[in-house]
Every structure is written in structure tokens, then in C-alpha cells.
């Protein structure tokens, strides 16, 4: 049942889940680890990349709060060159937004400091250069938080992996079309050009693409979330240099301060997103499911559905009124791996031996990069406490009715919308 230290381990997917697992298993003495991916990390269209991710400990769930505090130690030491402590401000049109109230009480119970903003306009007392139109909203500010250079952090993590002796294979020889099975045991993977990679243990950390390899429609689904980038001039970047990461919990739209040196401003929406309808052969069965494209990069076209573009544009006008009509430098849908309550899926497959899953990031996994591998390796080795094993368990299809994958109550904006075939063709 358990994996020996010299057994071959094949990790599919070189995002934050896969690479952090690889590095931690290597630290624990596993000597034969290979990570494969469609693209070289930082993967062009992975969920763990581009210029930024929010780093926050603001959670209504005490477990993720505790993990985020542990990760924060990593961001302020080992990953300090990738981390920017801008502060984090949350606003809502609804007084006593449930998620924000939950988060405040979790932080206070742990002795953390917050600035209450019953009138959100008071954010300007802390950050005079904020120009956002937040009249009528309430909120709070947490000075401990900010953002990380996502692609840069993944690059650093991937580099640590190869230095430690882990192999990383990218491109067609790392692109997996299906699991290779012998009876109910997974013995490796089949690659896109017909080759095979055999392994004693296969770990799927394939993010939003996981449902193409394995029938997990009851436990996870994939949604595209809009992201837009704006090029600022040097002078504009200076003007907005000292602003926090801001999220409008009513619309789900959030923004980052401009990137140092490159002066790029980013907005995205933490919402219910967009679904595609793809016909895929999953583990021998024909399925229709929502998934990003597999064969080519989902970041290549720069296409956003019109309503997604419009909601980011509105967010831009509300957060940065002076930049409201500035054309996008780039846009894309970034893919979440949604789960019913926003909990990760970190578990041995209940019926297929030799298969372990580490996925289900549900729009909030990146911030755990410095410590995620430890939690995953504990589950892999059967050392994780019972509450975590239950929380991140992969249920059998019959255990769970297929319901909405709405996450943890932190999202805003309109419900999930299925793209029309015409829209989908433009992705």
C-alpha cells in the first residue's frame, strides 16, 4: 500500500500543487520523482502563473487561516523576493458581509490586527492615493497581506526541484492523454505521441484539466475566470504605487498595485465564472464537461466573453476612475478547479491503487505555495490528522450528488454561465 523511498513517483502537472509536492517528497527521502507538464513551468496557461496572486490570511475557515499564516512565514523569508506586502482591503455593498465577518472573527480570535472601515472611503486615511469610488460601502483592511509574483515564484520552485534532483519533462513527452491501468491499478500514463511512462505511484496535480483524465465530475468542475491587464506609464505607476490589493466582495472584482519595473496593473474577478462544454473521452467513457483546452494554450487568444470584459471594465472604472477607458494590454480566462465548498482534493483514489490526487485549488490555492507540499505529503504518507483527511477526501461518485461547485462563500458577481458554442470557439 505505502510507497517505498526508492519507488518511482510520477507527478502530472507542474503548478503549485505538483511542484510543491515534488519538492517536499524529495525532502522526505523519495529518490525517484519525475514531474511532467504540457508546458514548461511557469506554464503558459496554468492557474498558478502570470504576474500576481493575492497573498492573504483573511479566511472565514480557521484551518485555511492557520495554513495561510504558516505560508506567510515562507513568503516573508524564503520567497521574500517574490512577495510584496501592499496590504489588503476588502469592501462590500452589503453591511456585515458574511464572509468578511467570519474572516474578521477568525483573525481577531488569533490576535491579529485589522482596521475596520465602516465607511469604506476611510481607506484614503491609510492610503491617500486610492481613488476608488467606495462611497456607501463598508469594509476592512489587513496590513498583513499583499501579493506575489506568481510566475516568478513557480519558476523559483521549479528550479529548486531540479537542483534537488527531481526531473521535470515538458512538452509532448510530458503531455498525458490517459492513465495507464492494469486492472484497477494505475501503473503509469500514456503520452500524446504514443509513448508510455510507467511509475509505481501516479500523482495527479492537473488542476482544471483533471476531469479529462479521471471521472471526478461529482467532486470538481472547471470554470474560467476573467483577468485583464493594463499598461501604465512610469508616472501613473508612481501615482498608484502605494495602494493595497483591493477586492469588491459584491462584484468579486479585485485589483493589484502596479508591478514594479513593468508598471502593469491587473484586475480579475473572483466569481462563479464561465463553463465550456467539451466532449472528452475520460478513462474510457464519453463525457461532456467544462474544461480548458488541452491541445493548445488557453492564454494565446486574449479573448474574453463580452459580459466578462464589461464587468472588469466596470471594476476598473470603480477602482481607478482615471484609467476607466484605457484599452487592455492583454486579457484571458484563468481556470479554477472548483469544489463544492472550496476545499482541496488531496487523497489516495478510493478504488484505483497507485493513484493519488492533489488538486481542487478552488480559486485560493496559490498563497500556500511555501507550505502546501507538507500538507500534501502528510496526506500521501497517511500522516495527516483525521480532520484534514476528511476535509480533502475524494469521495466516490455515489457519495456526492453532483451539485453546485460554489466554493466557500467568498465569491461575488453573477452565477456561472455556460459559454455559447460561438464564444467557446473563440477561446
Ligand X SMILES: *[C@@H]1O[C@H](CO)[C@@H](O)[C@H](O)[C@H]1NC(C)=O
Residues that bind ligand FAD (CB under 6 A): 12-18, 36-39, 43, 46-48, 53-54, 174-176, 205-209, 213, 225, 227, 268, 334-337, 359, 361, 363-367
Name the binder of 207 from ligand X, ligand FAD, none, CB < 5-8 A by kind: ligand FAD
Quick check: 358 and 21 in contact, CB under 8 A?
A: yes
Name the binder of 175 from ligand X, ligand FAD, none, CB < 5-8 A by kind: ligand FAD
Name the binder of 134 from ligand FAD, ligand X, none, CB < 5-8 A by kind: ligand X
Nearest-approach distance from CB 326 to ligand FAD, in angstroms: 20
Q: Which is nearer to ligand FAD, 239 or 294 (CB)?
A: 294
Instruction: Say which residues have a Cβ less than 8 Å from residue 358's Cβ, sequence separation at least 6.
Output: 17, 18, 21, 203, 204, 205, 344, 345, 346, 376, 379
The interface with ligand X within residues 73-102 (CB under 6 A) comprises 93
Q: Which is nearer to ligand X, 246 or 345 (CB)?
A: 246
Q: Which of 175, 201, 318, 339 binds ligand X (CB under 6 A)?
A: 318
Classify the phi-psi angles of 330: left when phi > 0, otherwise alpha if psi is within -120 to 50, otherwise beta: beta
Which cell numbers in the block locate residue 197? 511512462
Q: Which is nearer to ligand FAD, 14 or 216 (CB)?
A: 14
Quick check: 299 and 42 in contact, CB under 8 A?
A: no
Nearest-approach distance from CB 125 to ligand FAD, in angstroms: 25
For 220-237, the three-class secondary structure string (H helix, E strand, C coil) is CEEEEEEEEEEECCHHHH
Nearest-approach distance from CB 147 to ligand FAD, in angstroms: 7
- Binding of residue 251 to ligand X (CB under 6 A): yes
Name the binder of 133 from ligand FAD, ligand X, none, CB < 5-8 A by kind: ligand X
Quick check: 192 and 172 in contact, CB under 8 A?
A: yes
The residues with which 189 forms a beta bridge, in sequence order, are: 179, 197
Nearest-approach distance from CB 405 to ligand X, in angstroms: 22
> Which of 177, 153, 150, 224 is CA-nearest to residue 36?
177
Place of cell 491617500: 128
Q: Which is nearer to ligand X, 78 or 93 (CB)?
A: 93
HSE-up of 256 (CA within 13 Å, CB side)?
32
Stretch that binds ligand X, among 3-11, 107-115, 193-201, 315-323 (CB under 6 A): 315-323
- Number of separate helices (H) and strands (E) present in the chain: 11, 24
Q: Which is nearer to ligand FAD, 36 or 253 (CB)?
A: 36
Name the binder of 361 from ligand X, ligand FAD, none, CB < 5-8 A by kind: ligand FAD
- Binding of residue 316 to ligand X (CB under 6 A): no
Quick check: 319 and 307 in contact, CB under 8 A?
A: no
Name the binder of 315 from ligand FAD, ligand X, none, CB < 5-8 A by kind: ligand X
Q: What is the DSSP string of 38-55?
A: SS-SS-TT-TT-SS-EEE
Q: Which of 77, 133, 162, 184 binds ligand X (CB under 6 A)?
A: 133
Quick check: 291 and 276 in contact, CB under 8 A?
A: yes
Binding site for ligand X (CB under 6 A): 93, 132-134, 248, 250-251, 315, 318-319
Amino acid at each position: 500500500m505505502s510507497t517505498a523511498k526508492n519507488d518511482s513517483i510520477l507527478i502530472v502537472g507542474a503548478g503549485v500543487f505538483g511542484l510543491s509536492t515534488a519538492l517536499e517528497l524529495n525532502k522526505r527521502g523519495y529518490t525517484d520523482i519525475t514531474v511532467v507538464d504540457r508546458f514548461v513551468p511557469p506554464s503558459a496557461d496554468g492557474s498558478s502563473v502570470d504576474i500576481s496572486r493575492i497573498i492573504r490570511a483573511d479566511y472565514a475557515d480557521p484551518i485555511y487561516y492557520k495554513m495561510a499564516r504558516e505560508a506567510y512565514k515562507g513568503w516573508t523569508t524564503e520567497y521574500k523576493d517574490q512577495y510584496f506586502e501592499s496590504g489588503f482591503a476588502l469592501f462590500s455593498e452589503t453591511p456585515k458581509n458574511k464572509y468578511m465577518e467570519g474572516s474578521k472573527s477568525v483573525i481577531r480570535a488569533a490576535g491579529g490586527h485589522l482596521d475596520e472601515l465602516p465607511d469604506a472611503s476611510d481607506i484614503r486615511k491609510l492610503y491617500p492615493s486610492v481613488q476608488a469610488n467606495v462611497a456607501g460601502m463598508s469594509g476592512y483592511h489587513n496590513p498583513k497581506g499583499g501579493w506575489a509574483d506568481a510566475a516568478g515564484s513557480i519558476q523559483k520552485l521549479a528550479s529548486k526541484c531540479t537542483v534537488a534532483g527531481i526531473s521535470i519533462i515538458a512538452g509532448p513527452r510530458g503531455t498525458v492523454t490517459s492513465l495507464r491501468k492494469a486492472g484497477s491499478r494505475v501503473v503509469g500514463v500514456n503520452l500524446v505521441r504514443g509513448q508510455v511512462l510507467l511509475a509505481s505511484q501516479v500523482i495527479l496535480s492537473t488542476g482544471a484539466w483533471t476531469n479529462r483524465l479521471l471521472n471526478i465530475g461529482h467532486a470538481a468542475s472547471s470554470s474560467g475566470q476573467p483577468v485583464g491587464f493594463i499598461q501604465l506609464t512610469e508616472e501613473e505607476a508612481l501615482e498608484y504605487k502605494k495602494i493595497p490589493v483591493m477586492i469588491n466582495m459584491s462584484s468579486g472584482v479585485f485589483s493589484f498595485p502596479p508591478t514594479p519595473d513593468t508598471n502593469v496593473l491587473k484586475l480579475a474577478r473572483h466569481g462563479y465564472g464561465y463553463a465550456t462544454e467539451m466532449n472528452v473521452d475520460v478513462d474510457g467513457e464519453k463525457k461532456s464537461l467544462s474544461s480548458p483546452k488541452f491541445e493548445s494554450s488557453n492564454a494565446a487568444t486574449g479573448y474574453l466573453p463580452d459580459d466578462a470584459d464589461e464587468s472588469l471594465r466596470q471594476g476598473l472604472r470603480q477602482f481607478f476612475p482615471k484609467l476607466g477607458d484605457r484599452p487592455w494590454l492583454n486579457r484571458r480566462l484563468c481556470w479554477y478547479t472548483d469544489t463544492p465548498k472550496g476545499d482541496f482534493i488531496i487523497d489516495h483514489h478510493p478504488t484505483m491503487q497507485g493513484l493519488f490526487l492533489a488538486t481542487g485549488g478552488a480559486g485560493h490555492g496559490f498563497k500556500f505555495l511555501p507550505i502546501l507540499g507538507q500538507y500534501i505529503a502528510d496526506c500521501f504518507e497517511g500522516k495527516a490528522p483525521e480532520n484534514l483527511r476528511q476535509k480533502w477526501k475524494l469521495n466516490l461518485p455515489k457519495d456526492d450528488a453532483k451539485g453546485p461547485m460554489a466554493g466557500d462563500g467568498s465569491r461575488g458577481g453573477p452565477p456561472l454561465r455556460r459559454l455559447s458554442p460561438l464564444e467557446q470557439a473563440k477561446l
